[in-house]
Amino acid sequence: MKRGRSHLFTYYYSSSKQLDYVTGSKSYDFSYDDKGNVTDNGKRGFVYNTADQLVESDGYSYTYDGNNKRVKEVGSTGISYSFYASNGKLMYRQVNGEHVDYYYLGGKLIAEKKGDGSHARS
């Protein structure tokens, strides 16, 4: 059992050690596909592609590049795009037409440039 925010929850697991259901102030039943991906958590469903990448959930859809990076998200809040360098670092992100460039030094993110302004990271 786990206590959270003055609510008591009880977690039940299947013989394959997957979370089966939760009881407490709210109850949730979990469903899985043959590969062990959660397909339903009692609140929303999840759809995966053959590479086990999440492609749809709760009104959102996701697209991935050949390096398994999520590059497009479409949902109720709009469309976002992400572009990555060959080393896997996020270089550019566009959300509903607003963009952010990411700058690295020695492998560490040191700055984000949003539109025309620059915001240093600490």
Report yes or no on 118 lying in a domain.
yes
Q: How many domains does the chain have?
A: 2
- Residue 110 is inside which H or E element, if any? strand 108-114
Question: pLDDT tens digits, residue range 71-90?
Answer: 999 999 899 999 999 999 99
Question: pLDDT tens digits, residue range 13-38?
Answer: 999 899 999 998 889 999 999 999 99
Report yes or no on 38 lying in a domain.
yes
Range of 18's domain? 1-47
Within 8 A by CB and 6+ apart from 15, the residues are none
User: Based on the domain organization, do 2 and 42 belong to the same domain?
Assistant: yes
Within 8 A by CB and 6+ apart from 88, the residues are 67, 69
User: Based on the domain organization, do 41 and 81 belong to the same domain?
Assistant: no
Report how far residue 45's alpha carbon sits from residue 91's, in angstroms, rounded to the nearest whole number. 31
Please state the pTM of the whole predicted model.
0.75
Least confident of 3-12, 65-74, 83-92: 3-12
